[in-house]
Structure formats: C-alpha cells, structure tokens
Structure 1
C-alpha cells in the first residue's frame, strides 16, 4: 500500500509505503520523472525481525524508525526495498 503527498512550497514529495507480507521483502519502484530533478532526502523504516516486538519499560527503544539505505534513484525512478511487515516514509526533493 502507498500514498504520496506533494508540498508545492518546499518542492518535496513524501511517499508512505506499507509492506504487509509477513515473510517477503517488497521492492517498490516509483517513477518520478515528471518532477524533473529527484533526490532522496530521507528514507525511514519502522520494522523488526520479530513482528510481535514492542517497546516496554525495560526496552523502550526496541521498535523504532531506522534509516532505509536501500533507496536509489536512477533516471528519475526511485527503487526501495521494504522489509516484511514494515512501514516506510520516503522524502524526495
């Protein structure tokens, strides 16, 4: 699943991606050639190898956002890999 927003004043696009698969990574390709120059400003993913993991008093930072370094841009097309059961925020400028 995915949704995108465009901020005209900042000239940035935010794309929010969900991989619902419990076992498989998902590679997502987004054609942004209509936006002319494209760079990935930030990519953050919320995921854990244990789908039942949670933050607790003993481990309050167990689950959190982490950089997703798989995002690459080639000729105005962004490709990113999403871990199983994950949520990703992609900021593009």
Structure 2
C-alpha cells in the first residue's frame, strides 16, 4: 500500500516537472518569434519616418501629404486645419 502511494507520488512529480519544462521552453521561444516579427524589412528600414506638422504623429515619408513650405501632414484634414491648403 505504501509502495503504491510512493509510486503515484513520484509519477505525479515527474509529470509536473515535465509540464513545467514544456512551459519554460515555450516561454523562451516566444520572444524570439516576436523579435523576428517586429524586425523591420529592408524597405521599411530605408524609408524615413517623419512627424505630422499638425499633431506630431509619426508616419512614413511615402504616406505623408505635403503642404506649403515643405510641411508634412498625416491626413488631408490636418493639412486643412493647419491652413496649408
């Protein structure tokens, strides 16, 4: 009877250790995948990011709308509100 209880206890401890090791290995693998997903591509890294002259939000140069005097805006509404139409 005591031997069975000890055997069950050892089995439970082995299973718990195995589950913890799987959880730890998954946790260490996730940041690596996230880092790869967040890494910029060559095209994105080469494109400058500039602030909107009205609200200060940063956007890629290719998406910015030009105003008079070289000012850049994130939207047509901000360009109009700034009086730069």
Query: What TM-score, normalized to structure 2?
Result: 0.20
Comparing both structures, which one devotes a greater share of its residues to helix?
A: 2
Query: What TM-score, normalized to structure 1?
Result: 0.19
Name which one, 1 or 2, has greater alpha-carbon Rg. Answer: 2
Comparing both structures, which one devotes a greater share of its residues to strand?
A: 1
